[in-house]
């Protein structure tokens, strides 16, 4: 329990025993007994929270969020609140800023966390105390992100779920710091779904047109690394160094920041594919003397924005999932030529991920299958319904292997994604 003491000069003090057993004093200004009593109640609640390891009550959290810096300094000096909370860090904006700036993260991770933090503060405001954010409000935030503009943000399902996942991460940290008892985002789904309606296969003819429209060797190399080298853009392409290029053995060592936290997944080695090598050589010839990185003339923060301009300059409409579909198109091609265990090793993913998120169904497969079906009735006698369930292979049948994709290829859902609309969002 705390007590109030009054000095001869009229100043009041709050005396209490801290959780470590030591007596502490908080000196107040010349305030009324009623004001001192209100502070005493808050001090007792803070001491109780420290002793039991629980979060402070909601009204006390709001009181802390609105404290003047001088009073917050006094509470921090006696160990009742952390020093980083003295400037109102119990508010949403202050806590998010403090969490992101003090956490050691990769640049792209920081960028993504800042995007989620901006969406949170845009919807809830800067001064909202953490303790006032409820699960109902969290659900409203998710729905606001999904709602069409201008009422909402018009984000897709997976974009929304990624931001929800980051919000869960933020508030889990708040719980660990004893600022909250429950995570208001805990019940919201953050796992991604495979949205194959946005698949798009970039043909060799389209790739050639884009390469022709690129303004310099760096842009051609960036596009070629995505379309023919299966690199993740921007995380892998912009850390590629000339020392990673083994010209004699036709190998590229790819550093993968995305998977670096998994043992043995810090990097992988891929072939210098024939379609990729000319652009790699051209970029090397154009690189300044002593250049360390393969791409130096492009900002890694938002390459997709300018790439869309290049695609339009080529007379095409930018396809959805710009760089993802380039990587998916190439993986689909490679699977036609090499075993899946080889391809997923080159790409740095797994067969499950490849089948769920990358591998597409080219329209040429439908045409080839339909053409073969049209020939079969003439090559063999008609079967009775009873025999039709048995597979009979003609003697002259052979294994069909597609050597690259010189023809057109599309996703089976491409009819749901007309080219003139390049930024459609999936329906929920």
- Which of 358, 373, 401 finishes a domain? 358
Same domain, 316 and 205: yes
Least confident range from 25-34, 282-291, 405-414: namely 405-414
Same domain, 189 and 204: no
What is the model's pLDDT at position 390? 37
Identify whether 304 is part of a domain: yes
Higher pLDDT, 240 or 47: 240
Identify whether 127 is part of a domain: yes
Same domain, 339 and 220: yes
What is the model's pLDDT at position 11? 85
What is the model's pLDDT at position 356? 81
Same domain, 164 and 146: yes
pLDDT tens by residue, 129-167: 888 899 999 999 999 999 999 999 999 898 999 999 999
**Average pLDDT estimate for 179-193:** 89
What is the model's pLDDT at position 370? 84
Same domain, 117 and 79: no
Higher pLDDT, 367 or 279: 279
Q: How many separate domains does the chain show?
A: 3
Same domain, 175 and 134: yes
Identify whether 155 is part of a domain: yes
What is the model's pLDDT at position 274? 96
pLDDT tens by residue, 1-48: 789 988 888 889 999 998 888 899 998 878 888 888 999 999 999 988
Same domain, 103 and 150: yes
- Name the average pLDDT for the chain: 83
- Which of 131, 158, 193 finishes a domain? 193
What is the model's pLDDT at position 373? 60
What is the model's pLDDT at position 374? 61
**Average pLDDT estimate for 222-234:** 95
| pLDDT over threshold 90, residue 82 | no
- Which of 84, 114, 145 finishes a domain? 84
What is the model's pLDDT at position 127? 86
Same domain, 349 and 305: yes
Identify whether 31 is part of a domain: yes
Higher pLDDT, 2 or 225: 225
Higher pLDDT, 153 or 52: 153
Identify whether 328 is part of a domain: yes
Pairing of strands 3-6, 251-255: unpaired
Same domain, 102 and 119: yes
Identify whether 115 is part of a domain: yes
What is the model's pLDDT at position 396? 37
Same domain, 210 and 318: yes
Identify whether 252 is part of a domain: no
Range of the domain at 205: 198-237+297-358
Which range has the top average pLDDT, 101-105, 166-170, 287-291? Answer: 166-170
Same domain, 202 and 337: yes
CATH of the domain at 109: 1.10.150
Higher pLDDT, 300 or 397: 300
| pLDDT over threshold 80, residue 261 | no
What is the model's pLDDT at position 379? 55
Going by C-alpha positions, the residue among 216, 337, 231 that lies closest to residue 279 is 216
């Amino acid at each position: 329990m705390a007590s109030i003491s009054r000095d001869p000069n009229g100043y009041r003090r709050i005396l209490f025993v801290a959780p470590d057993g030591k007596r502490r004093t908080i000196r107040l200004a010349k305030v009324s007994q009623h004001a001192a009593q209100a502070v005493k109640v808050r001090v007792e609640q803070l001491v109780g929270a420290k002793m039991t390891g629980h979060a402070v009550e909601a009204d006390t959290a709001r009181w802390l969020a609105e404290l003047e810096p001088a009073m917050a300094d006094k509470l921090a000096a006696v160990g009742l609140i952390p020093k980083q909370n003295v400037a109102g860090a119990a508010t949403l904006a202050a806590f998010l800023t403090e969490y992101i700036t003090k956490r050691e993260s990769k640049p792209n991770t920081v960028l993504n966390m800042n995007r989620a933090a901006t969406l949170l503060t845009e919807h809830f405001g800067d001064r909202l105390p953490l303790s006032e954010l409820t699960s109902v409000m969290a659900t409203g935030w998710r729905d606001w992100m999904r709602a069409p503009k201008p009422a909402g943000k018009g984000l897709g399902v997976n974009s929304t779920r990624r931001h929800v996942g980051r919000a869960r991460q933020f508030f889990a940290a708040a719980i660990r710091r004893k600022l909250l008892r429950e995570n208001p985002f805990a019940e919201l789904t953050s796992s991604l779904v495979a949205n194959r309606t946005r698949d798009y296969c970039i043909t060799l003819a389209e790739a050639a047109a884009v390469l022709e429209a690129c303004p310099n060797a760096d842009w051609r190399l960036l596009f070629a690394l995505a379309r023919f080298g299966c690199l993740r853009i921007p995380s892998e392409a912009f850390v590629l160094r000339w020392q990673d290029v083994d010209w004699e053995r036709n190998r590229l060592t790819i550093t993968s920041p995305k998977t670096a936290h998994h043992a043995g997944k810090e990097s992988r080695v891929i072939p210098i594919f024939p379609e990729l090598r000319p652009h790699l050589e051209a970029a090397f010839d154009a690189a300044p003397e002593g250049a360390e990185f393969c791409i130096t003339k492009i900002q890694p923060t938002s390459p997709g924005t300018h790439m869309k301009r290049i695609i339009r300059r080529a007379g095409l409409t930018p396809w959805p999932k710009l760089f993802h579909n380039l990587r998916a198109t190439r993986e689909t091609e490679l699977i036609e030529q090499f075993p899946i265990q080889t391809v997923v090793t080159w790409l740095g993913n797994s067969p499950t991920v490849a089948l769920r998120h990358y591998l597409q169904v080219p329209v040429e497969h439908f045409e080839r299958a339909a053409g073969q079906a049209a020939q079969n009735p003439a090559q063999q006698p008609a079967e009775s319904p009873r025999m039709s369930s048995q597979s009979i292979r003609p003697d002259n049948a052979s294994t069909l292997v597609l050597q690259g994709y010189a023809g057109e290829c599309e996703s089976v859902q491409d009819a749901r994604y007309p080219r003139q609309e390049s930024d459609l969002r999936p329906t929920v």
